Structure 1
Amino acid sequence: MLGLAASVALAGCGSSQSGGSGAASTGKLRVVATTTQAGDFSRSIGGGLVTVTQLIKPNVDPHDFEPSPADLDALAKADVLVTNGAGLESWLDDAVSASGFEGTRVVMADGVPLRAGSGAEAGQHDPHIWHDPRNAKIMVTDIEKGFARADPAHAPAFEKSLATYLVALDALDRHDAAEIATIPASQRLLVTNHDAFGYYTARYGITYVGSIIPSFDTSAELSGKTIQDIVAKIRKTGVKAVFSESSLPPKTAESIGREAGVTVIAGEDSLYADSLGPAGSAGDTYLKAEQHNTDVIVKALR
């Protein structure tokens, strides 16, 4: 990471430094967003007043991401950096240091009640905070405040965009709650690729039976005992389906589904867990992805 710093410095020669200087020469804030959710939220709040460079692309696992020299160059020139926080971007501090970024930093997890890990993850926090729309409201509010600090002249416009988006988040929350309520409580049993839906299950009264990778991080080791344990839980609890995730290969989920004798939800019906989908997909925005997840879960479990 640090070895890329020199190339970034050369690329930045002759260009204006971010340094919290406010809007770029185009009149727009230069925003770098780490994740797909951060990118979508930033575009929703900033509208035509910002240009957003999103580091992690659709359907890419953020746990294994490595920034490129072009990413560091974008950071060097940015006025605002929008991050998830809560330990999701383990690579970020090195990237910021290498790039020399000095602008406004927004951590969307600020103010969000974090879910604590247990067992091997004791002392850690679940970073998948966006899967509860109430948390998403805090996240976009953090972005609005950051944009207003960096570009005070357009603060009223950012505030107006925030108000509109908060209404949409409330509507999403009502939709999800009403749909999940149509599933008998005894059938609200969820098994996914990895432990990414804790905030979602807590919000909507779903029992989280377990995950194929028993970790917040998809790069955690998967053992034969882990597979045996989740198959046993599926059989014992009467789980109806195993849900694959869009940013992970479905092979392991399909193998476990066959062994446990349950349906595997994959392909276009995969859940958007760590990443939003590409343009034109059912998950190309946060609002669409979360509604897609609920609709797929309800169809499979009801």
Structure 2
Amino acid sequence: MKHPPRPVRIAALAALITVMAGCGSATAEPAGSTSAGPKLAVVATTPEVADFVRNIGGDDVAVTQIIKPNVDPHDYEPTPADLQAIASAKLVVKNGVGLEEWLDRTIESAGFTGTVVDSSQDVTLREGGHHEEEGAEHAEEEGEEHDPHIWHDPRNAKLMVTNIQKGLAAAEPAKAETFAKNLATYSAELDKLDADNTAAWAKIGKADRKLVTNHDAFGYYIARYDLEFVGSVIPSLDTSAELSAAQLTDLVAKIKATGTKAIFAESSLPPKTAEAIAQQAGVKVVAGEDALFGDSLGAPGSPEGTYLGAERHNTQVIVDALAG
């Protein structure tokens, strides 16, 4: 069955908000909360951004996370509950850089009157993905595109949480001091993550720092830790493209020529094509529980269910595979 165009679907969902409004708020206080009084209702788009808001807001915010773990954010379809949550929120926090293409229409349909915080403010963006960098003609046809996967560099994550802290403080001035303290604590953890990553990569020789992933999601990580991008199974910053037969042959040849040791699958994408390419190239594919978190985080309550845990997982998995 053919789906109606997305703007029509969002408008149809908006019509349900009035009916659903009588069912209660979409934001709930976190279990075990000790904060007195009403909490600041915040909608966060992605798992990473939601985790940042929880760390900076603490018990003083009630966070509704739109995109659940292992759901592709590039082609998300809002639900009636999403619209209701946005309509009821005081603050919406997004990753930005065009990752949430659906958000502006959804906000308009929800009748949201609060503030939108773009956590990507002041981040130095990569212009296009690796594939666009390799083909100037393609880049001209597609126009300028920025890589939205900014959180994979912990220094960018520090800027993101700073933007979030400013947004929370503006929305809830009485809690500004608490948010500032939370920011200082969490920023120190991000510094440690960056230092630990740097130390882990110091043990891997330059010749072995070659990366092939499901899609081009790790550009900021690659630049931060001085790795070499060999290629990706999906030749794009998002997940909508597919390798042509010629591109597949070229990727296999490049893996062999560069001595790349592994292809890394991602938690939110099926590993089937990666496994087929790995078999042709004669290298291992890292998948299953060891799959990387490219666009998502792990299950809630698991170590990888937080930004810090997911990033530690990624570094350990990649370093272990390339050191073998």
TM-score of Structure 1 vs Structure 2, range by shorter chain: over 0.9
Name the Cα RMSD after superposition: 1.7
Q: For each residue in 1:73-102, what CA deviation from the matched residue of structure 2 results, as whole angstroms up to 9, or x when unmatched?
A: 000000110100001011111111110111
3-state SS of the aligned residue for 2:38?
Answer: coil
- Deviations 1:243-275, CA, capped at 9 Å, x for gaps: 000000111110000000001000111000000
CA distance in 2, matches of 1:172, 1:14: 42
For structure 2, the 5+ residue unaligned runs are 1-9, 26-35
Task: Report the equivalent of 2:242.
Answer: 221
Letter in 1 for 2:95: N
How big is each residue's C-alpha offset from its partner over 1:197-216, in whole Å with a ceiling of 9 and x where there is no partner? Answer: 00000000101111111100
Find 1:260's aligned residue among 278, 281, 301.
Answer: 281
Show structure 1 runs of 5+ residues with no match.
Answer: 17-24
2:23 counterpart of 1:2: no
Q: Alpha-carbon deviations, 1:11-55, whole Å to 9, x = none? A: 336989xxxxxxxx9521001000000110010000100000000
Matching of residue 39 in structure 1 with residue 50 in structure 2:
yes
Aligned residues: 295
CA distance in 2, matches of 1:183, 1:215: 27
CA distance in 2 between partners of 1:55 and 1:36 (Å): 8
- TM-score normalised per structure 2: 0.88
Within 5 Å, which residues of 2 pair with 1:1-302? Answer: 1-12=10-21, 26-117=37-128, 118=132, 119=135, 120-121=138-139, 122-302=143-323
Identical-residue share of aligned pairs (%): 59
Specify the SS of the correspondent of 2:78.
coil
Q: State the TM-score, normalized to the length of structure 1.
A: 0.94
CA contact (8 A) 1:130 1:136 kept: yes
Other structure's SS at 1:32 match: strand
In 2: Cα distance, 1:241 partner to 1:36 partner:
27
Inter-CA distance 61–14: structure 2 relative to 1 (3 Å threshold): closer
Q: Mean alpha-carbon deviation: is it higher for 272-281 or for 237-246? A: 272-281
Amino acid at match of 2:113: E
Stretch deviating more after TM superposition (274-283 or 89-98) = 274-283
Determine helix, strand or coil for the equivalent of 1:182: coil
Matched AA of 2:237: F
Report the AA paired with residue 73 of structure 1: Q
Equivalent residue number for residue 20 of structure 1: none
SS at match of 1:257: helix
Q: Look up the SS of the partner of 1:283 in the other structure.
A: helix
In structure 2, distance between residues paired with 1:248 and 1:53: 24
Q: Name the SS for the 2:116 alignment partner.
A: strand
Question: CA–CA distance in 1 between the matches of 2:271 and 2:161?
Answer: 32
Partner SS, residue 270 of structure 2: coil
1:29 and 1:225 mapped to 2: Cα distance?
Answer: 52
How far residue 171 of structure 1 moved from its aligned partner, in angstroms, is 0.1
SS in 1 for 2:96: coil
Question: How much has 1:138 moved relative to structure 2?
Answer: 0.3
Q: State which drifts further: 157-166 or 276-285.
A: 276-285
Q: In structure 1, the residue corresponding to 2:231 is in which secondary structure?
A: strand
Q: Quick check: 1:9–1:99 contact (8 Å CA) kept in 2?
A: no
Q: Residues 35 and 54 of structure 1 are in contact (CA less than 8 Å); yes or no, is this contact kept in structure 2? A: yes
Change in 2 beyond 3 A, CA 1:14/1:208:
closer
Cα shift at 1:159: 0.4
Could you report, residue by residue, the CA deviation over 1:95-149 in whole angstroms, capped at 9, with x for unpaired residues? 1111011112111111100000124354000000000000000000000000001
